[in-house]
Amino acid sequence: MSFKTRASSIWSSVKRAWVNTFKFIGRGIKLSFSLTLVYVLVVPVIQPALAMAWAHLPATIIAAAALVLVYLALRRKRYLLSAITLIAGLSTSAALVYLYHSGWFIENEMASALNPRTLTELPDTINNRLLGRATALQYAGNANHDNRLRAGSPHLTASPTGDKVSWQVPLHYTVWYGAALGSTGGLITIDAGQTSQKVDSIDHSFFPFGDESWLTEAAFRLLHPLSRPGNVVYWRQDNGQWCILISYLSYKPTLGGGMIPYLAGVMQVNSSGTIAHHSVDEAARLFPGVPLYPAPLARQYAEAYADYKLGVTNYLVTQKDLLRISEDPKLSDDDTAFNRLPYYQAFHGLGLELVVPLEPNGKADNTALKEILFFDGSTGQAHSYQVSNNPPVVGPKQALRNVVNADSQSDWGQFLPIESKLVVQGSKRYWLYTVVNRTTFAHVMLVLVDGFTLEAHKFISTDELHDFLSRQGPNSNR
């Protein structure tokens, strides 16, 4: 073979290799683009189903295995020995699905995973959460003078030390050019430590894609297909720019095979539309004082802990030291102004915490507190305080019944005491209630109920309350 022929053959081989390589790359790019397009179009639609399947992963796997077993049986594969094998397999699958889907099993796994740290003393309360959530929404509506905007859902935020707690209310557009993208037109902040209408409007807090935007929701579903949103907080960064922090919940497996909820992370949406993601610990460090741990999740863990802290056998058989949240279960959402326990409160040395008071469960109406759970407002780290029984401290459920004693002349049919807050002042224990108009949620008064004597005290202003507490004296904790 001549040199010219050999060179031509080699060149043809190289060209074929290059062509095949580019074809392979082109097919890969085309496939990647197609898969990305399918993901972007399909995942936001089916994300709730994906999250639900992940939440019940063991049951999903077992159900899928059962369907495969039925399919093989119908195809009459030889290694399926008999109908007995099929019945036994399906029965086992059904039993496991029931187990992993049972409330008592999941709650026992949650209680085992909680493992709260013990507090030997109760820290004093920073009494700066006096304004009720419902009243904050009313104040925000009064302060909004732009007919193109409406008040959104109020959320709390706090300074890094917890010295100041504020309600923040985003304002959402109602006109088409703002509502089309779900834009946030501004932000109103309200001092939660004052009962007066002390409202500030925040400059430079416009968001083209706000917390209620369908684009924000679509981005969340795309980036976190196995999660669901938790808390939403607007936050001013060190550079003066505002961002939206959306904490999100997911599920993790336990050694027992269950899937339990947990705070998985935080999605940061900047006013420019860019998105960043943070772990829980990283977010707690970057955004100190931001309540990222959802109150419903804390309540879910507290209820599981109240029943199963001594194990499932104790709950089903012995039933020793069972607890319950100190709240009347018959209270309707209207009677709580749509805001149930637990509530965020600030404490010296602890910062912002979710407080869950627990009392003994049983037929006897024992209203003395047994234990108090604290959940860190940012990370959810749990602490437990065992309440002394000498003398006993009543819980907020019993204290609520004595609020009317603060002013027997008032027409309590028109008033509604809401948001029972724990007040610790040295050795003193109180429950503080914000009393509002039952119809308009306008603020009426503050009532402080002594946790030992049940004596109720009425205060019209915050200064009266602080003056009363300052005169009680910082005695040593019981």
The DSSP annotation for 347-384 comes to: ETTTEEEEEEEEEE-SSS---B--EEEEEETTT--EEE
* Structure confidence at residue 10 (pLDDT): 60
Cα–Cα distances in Å, from 87 out to 61, 66, 99, 411, 468? 18, 10, 18, 66, 71
Tell me if 105 sits within 8 A of 99, measured CB to CB.
yes
Residue-wise pLDDT tens digits, 53-109: 788 777 777 777 777 766 666 666 555 456 666 566 666 666 666 666 667 888 989
* Structure confidence at residue 92 (pLDDT): 67
Residue-wise pLDDT tens digits, 246-255: 999 999 988 8
Whole-angstrom distance, CA of residue 302 vs CA of residue 111 = 8
Cα–Cα distances in Å, from 295 out to 112, 209, 341, 345? 20, 25, 8, 12
Could you give the angle at which helices 103-114 and 295-308 cross, rounded to 10 degrees?
100
Q: What number of other Cβ atoms are within 10 A of residue 12's Cβ?
A: 10
* Structure confidence at residue 476 (pLDDT): 39
* Domain-embedded: residue 366: no
Residue-wise pLDDT tens digits, 269-291: 998 889 999 999 999 999 998 99
* Structure confidence at residue 396 (pLDDT): 95
* Domain-embedded: residue 98: yes
* Domain-embedded: residue 311: no
pLDDT at 3 over 60: no
Report the percentage of the chain scoring pLDDT > 70: 82
pLDDT at 410 over 90: no
Q: Domain range for residue 70?
A: 12-113
As for how many domains the chain has, the answer is 1
Residue 235, beta-bridge partner list: 243
Tell me if 385 sits within 8 A of 125, measured CB to CB.
no
CA angle 384, 389, 391 (to 5 degrees): 125
Residue 318: DSSP 8-state = I
Could you give the angle at which helices 214-223 and 3-55 cross, rounded to 10 degrees?
110
Residue-wise pLDDT tens digits, 189-248: 999 999 988 888 776 678 999 999 999 999 999 999 999 999 999 998 888 888 999 999
* Structure confidence at residue 419 (pLDDT): 95
Residue-wise pLDDT tens digits, 8-27: 666 566 566 665 666 666 66
Position 469 confidence tier, pLDDT thresholds 50, 70, 90 = very high
Task: Indicate the average pLDDT of the chain.
Answer: 86
* Domain-embedded: residue 464: no
* Domain-embedded: residue 53: yes
Most distant pair of Cα atoms in the chain: their distance: 118
* Domain-embedded: residue 60: yes
Average pLDDT over residues 315-329: 90
pLDDT at 477 over 50: no
Position 478 confidence tier, pLDDT thresholds 50, 70, 90 = very low
* pTM passes above 0.85: yes
* Domain-embedded: residue 87: yes
Whole-angstrom distance, CA of residue 302 vs CA of residue 382 = 10
* Structure confidence at residue 366 (pLDDT): 66
Cα–Cα distances in Å, from 47 out to 62, 95, 259? 21, 28, 18
* Structure confidence at residue 25 (pLDDT): 66
Residue 394: DSSP 8-state = B
Residue-wise pLDDT tens digits, 295-306: 999 999 999 999
* Domain-embedded: residue 131: no
Residue 340: DSSP 8-state = P
